[in-house]
Amino acid sequence: MADSRAGRGGRTQEEIRQRHLGELLRRVHVEGALSRAALAGRMGLNRSTIMTLTAELAAAGLVREEKPAETGRAGRPSLVVTPEPERVFGLAFDVAVDRLVAARVGLGGRILERREAVRPRAGVDLDDVVGVLAGFGRELAAAAAPGAVCAGLGASYCGMVRRADGMVRYGPHLGWVDQAFGAKLADGLGLGLPVEVGNEAHLGAIAEHTRGVGVGADDLIYLHGDVGVGGGILVGGKLLDGDGGYGCELGHMLVNPFDGRPCLCGSRGCLEAEVGEEALLDLAGRSGELFGRDGIRAVVALAGQGDARAGRALDHIGDWLGVGVVNLINLFNPAVVVFGGMLRDLYPGTAARVRSRIDAHVLPVSRERVRLATTALADDTTLQGAAELAFSALLADPLETLTARPPSPGRTADRPRGGS
């Protein structure tokens, strides 16, 4: 006999309640303060149900309800539901080729406090990376307000990551192969929580779709430069990550197979080999003199000042970047293509060349609406994506996740707990 509690699609009433709690919390996490009336309209629920859900989340310390500012309208105004960023936070970590970043991010996505360090390009450095980030993470957790809850831990890594356990399968630029990054960082932090690890460009795509220039665009391509080039693709609002989670290695799309530059992957003519840091500095005659984001910015500045060789280098980079973008637009028909990381610095100086390639080679019906943009989240795109990983379990099942969290150093033991 079917469970008498079963609702739509065979779900029990408890499962429906859990889903609604998660959806409501996700909406205020992503969109910020929303009135009960707005939440009812967005979720297709009546106001009494919204009132019950918000009361549960408020009792757990996840949201608060406040009277709205004076509207001048007749009738009783609908209470506004706001996330509690100081009471509920995630720790986010970002491992790039040249820098290490850690942040305490409040529910709602606001970065509350951060730490940053230079990462030397010194080969396989797992222990050093974990040591720095774990130290930052413990400091950030200890600095949280009394009673605050750490909802989760998320990390972005510049390589191919096995999401199931945070194993870095391949990080070419510093030689990482099968490094147990997630497990070692969790041990170093000592907070009793697992670290969810994702590829930086995949997380960048999620962040731009959630909080950046791609809000409202469910079909999005994010290109991230960090010495090499990574990519993240959203189709219908869902990340396209492949069978093992290693999909969308857009930097290894072959664009120049016959006389292309050698790539660290062993091939030649990959997109990242033709448009990455090494290519730009070589073409500008600055190899060995400049490196990293500062080197990229220096070449862009030189081109802007009329340096002919730097200008030709940018044109060359723009042509090959345009070829890559053309292929992606023809394949995926995105609403927006976002340039992040070092490509955020490069794109303005190469935009004309990229656009020229698009005008010449993209199918007219695909190019008529596509928008090209640099990231709205600046250098925090991948960090914000890591924060979304940290909050993922909480947003899927708010009350159960909250009750399962162990005490953290920055708060007292009598934390708020969810109801049944």
CATH number at residue 156: 3.30.420.40
| 2 is a domain residue | no
Whole-number Å distance between alpha carbons of 386 and 402: 19
- Given this model, what pLDDT does residue 410 score? 57
pLDDT tens per residue, range 330-384? 999 999 999 999 999 999 999 999 999 999 999 999 999 999 999 999 999 999 9
Tell which of 83, 103, 121 closes a domain. 83
- Given this model, what pLDDT does residue 413 score? 42
pLDDT tens per residue, range 197-217? 999 999 999 999 999 999 999
The pTM is what?
A: 0.91
Mark whether 133 and 236 lie in a shared domain: no
Q: How many domains does the chain have?
A: 3
Q: Which domain holds residue 149?
A: 88-203+380-404
| 335 is a domain residue | yes
29-42 average pLDDT score: 96
Tell which of 83, 107, 131 closes a domain. 83
Whole-number Å distance between alpha carbons of 260 and 356: 21
Instruction: Please state which of the ranges 38-47, 156-165, 209-218, 286-295 shows the lowest mean pLDDT.
Output: 286-295
Q: What backbone phi and psi angles, to 5 degrees, belong to 390?
A: -60, -35
- Given this model, what pLDDT does residue 412 score? 44
**Can you count the helices (H) and strands (E) in the chain?**
14, 16
Mark whether 167 and 292 lie in a shared domain: no
Mark whether 24 and 117 lie in a shared domain: no
- Given this model, what pLDDT does residue 292 score? 85
Q: What backbone phi and psi angles, to 5 degrees, belong to 41?
A: -65, -45
- Given this model, what pLDDT does residue 408 score? 61
Assess whether pLDDT exceeds 60 at residue 135. Answer: yes
Mark whether 250 and 165 lie in a shared domain: no
Assess whether pLDDT exceeds 60 at residue 12. Answer: yes
Share of the chain above pLDDT 90, in %: 81
| 133 is a domain residue | yes
Mark whether 321 and 394 lie in a shared domain: no
CATH label of the domain that carries residue 54: 1.10.10.10
| 293 is a domain residue | yes
How does 267-279 read in b/e, with b if 16+ C-beta sit within 10 Å? ebbbbbbbbbbbb
Mark whether 400 and 272 lie in a shared domain: no
| 27 is a domain residue | yes
82-99 average pLDDT score: 96
Mark whether 353 and 388 lie in a shared domain: no
For residue 140, how far is the Cα from the chain centroid? Answer: 20
